[in-house]
């Protein structure tokens, strides 16, 4: 075998594909920005951080909530367990954790500490959105309070969404499709409010809509698909590694879920700021605005009539 010729062929092939990729990026500028921004936000590190905070802070809080508020968390735990392949959420918690011991050892003070510890997950989400939108971080008491309020509201809202979806459980294809669409829209609304709150209102609603829609749709599809794939994966890991295998399986699921959140938010920003998309949005606003009530048109009209500064 001629190693020199093989090396030359590999080098030539690599250079040709590299040049082809550069030409494609030059023809479609949005692709270049996608690549650069995925590198700028350190996509893999961001996903790993969110997944780690979810595993170390969020899941223990769910266990404590299941001990203190079992009726409140039943549906949400079942939804989470079915998505991650862990089976029934209540049976899992009750079999692996002594609920009475959790209540006795935790107490109200421990419950509050668990909640504040879980805000590390909210802070990771906040930093992710701030990194994507290139905004300075807001920390301190103000940031911690906002993260805590969001975390409580997010958990309650997800529980409500899970309950609504659970009510519409059916074997009918039409109703099943309607259920899926409703779940996507509700999830998109949750993530739209999430982005707005964690960014402290520094980004307009209309710029967050696309990212929220992508997050709602992809996160729902990811959870549904996980319900088919994860049970087998969890069982295999449990047979090989025992409890550690289950933890590894849940960690894998969380990394994938974090990737959906980060990628959706980033793609939503890039696409919404693309010049072609912005022209289309501006044209549609010009068509729709005359149809809106007068009180809804005033802000736009006032901005248009406002004299330039200086």
Determine the Cα–Cα distance for residues 23 and 41; give it in Å rounded to an integer. 24
Using 50, 70 and 90 to split pLDDT, how confident is the model at 89?
Answer: very low
Closest among 194, 255, 261, 253 to 224, alpha carbons compared: 253
Give per-residue pLDDT as tens, 23-54.
665 566 677 788 888 889 999 999 999 999 88
- Total domains in the chain come to 1
Contacts of residue 261, defined as CB under 8 A and 6 or more positions apart, other chains included, come to: 50, 125, 128, 191, 215, 219
Q: Which two tokens stand for residue 103?
A: 């209540």
What Cα–Cα distance (Å) separates residue 18 from each residue in 28, 36, 142?
15, 16, 47
Whether residue 215 is predicted with pLDDT greater than 90 in this model: the reply is yes
Q: At what angle do helices 243-272 and 43-53 cross, to 10 degrees?
A: 130
* Cβ-contact 265, 211 below 8 angstroms: yes
Q: Which two tokens stand for residue 217?
A: 């749709």
Give per-residue pLDDT as tens, 128-167.
999 999 999 998 888 888 888 888 888 788 777 777 776 6
Range of the domain at 201: 37-287
Residue 32 lies in a domain: no
Residue 268 lies in a domain: yes
The whole model's pTM is what? 0.76
pLDDT average, residue stretch 278-295: 66
Residue 30 lies in a domain: no
Positive or negative torsion for Cα 109, 110, 111, 115:
positive
* Cβ-contact 133, 195 below 8 angstroms: no
Residue 261 lies in a domain: yes
What pLDDT shows up at residue 98?
A: 52
Dihedral angle computed from the Cα positions of residues 217, 249, 50 and 107, in that order, rounded to the nearest 10 degrees: 110
N- to C-terminal Cα separation, the chain: 74
Residue 189 lies in a domain: yes
- Rounded to the nearest integer, the mean pLDDT of the chain is 77
Give the total residue count for the chain. Answer: 310
Determine the Cα–Cα distance for residues 228 and 247; give it in Å rounded to an integer. 18
What pLDDT shows up at residue 134?
A: 93
* Cβ-contact 54, 258 below 8 angstroms: yes
Residue 296 lies in a domain: no
What pLDDT shows up at residue 111?
A: 66
Give per-residue pLDDT as tens, 226-255.
888 888 888 888 788 777 777 888 888 999
C-alpha angle with apex 284: 281 to 288, nearest 5 degrees? Answer: 135
Residue 103 lies in a domain: yes
What pLDDT shows up at residue 27?
A: 61
Residue 301 lies in a domain: no
Asked which of 60-74, 77-91, 186-200, 296-310 is least confident by mean pLDDT, the reply is 296-310
Give per-residue pLDDT as tens, 115-126.
777 788 889 999
């Amino acid at each position: 075998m001629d190693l020199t010729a093989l090396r030359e062929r590999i080098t030539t092939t690599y250079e040709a594909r590299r040049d082809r990729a550069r030409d494609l990026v030059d023809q479609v500028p949005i692709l270049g920005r996608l690549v650069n921004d995925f590198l700028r936000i350190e996509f893999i590190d961001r996903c790993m951080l969110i997944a780690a905070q979810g595993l170390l802070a969020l899941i223990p809080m769910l266990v404590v909530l299941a001990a203190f508020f079992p009726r409140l968390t039943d549906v949400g735990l079942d939804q989470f367990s079915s998505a991650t392949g862990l089976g029934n959420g209540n049976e899992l918690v009750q079999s692996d954790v002594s609920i009475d011991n959790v209540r006795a050892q935790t107490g109200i003070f421990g419950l509050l500490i668990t909640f504040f510890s879980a805000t590390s997950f909210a802070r990771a989400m906040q930093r992710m959105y701030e990194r994507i939108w290139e905004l300075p971080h807001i920390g301190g008491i103000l940031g911690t309070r906002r993260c805590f309020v969001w975390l409580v509201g997010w958990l309650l809202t997800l529980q409500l969404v899970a309950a609504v979806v659970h009510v519409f459980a059916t074997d009918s294809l039409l109703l099943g499709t309607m259920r899926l669409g409703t779940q996507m829209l509700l999830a998109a609304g949750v993530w739209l409010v999430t982005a707005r709150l964690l960014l402290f209102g520094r980004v307009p609603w209309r710029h967050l809509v696309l990212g929220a829609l992508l997050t709602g749709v992809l996160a729902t599809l990811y959870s549904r698909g996980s319900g088919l794939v994860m049970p087998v994966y969890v069982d295999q890991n449990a047979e090989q590694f025992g409890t550690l295998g289950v933890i590894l399986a849940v960690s894998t699921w969380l990394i994938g879920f974090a990737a959906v959140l980060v990628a959706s938010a980033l793609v939503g920003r890039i696409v919404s700021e693309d010049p072609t998309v912005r022209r289309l949005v501006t044209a549609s606003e010009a068509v729709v605005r005359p149809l809106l009530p007068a009180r809804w048109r005033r802000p736009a009209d006032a901005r248009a009539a406002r004299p330039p500064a200086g």
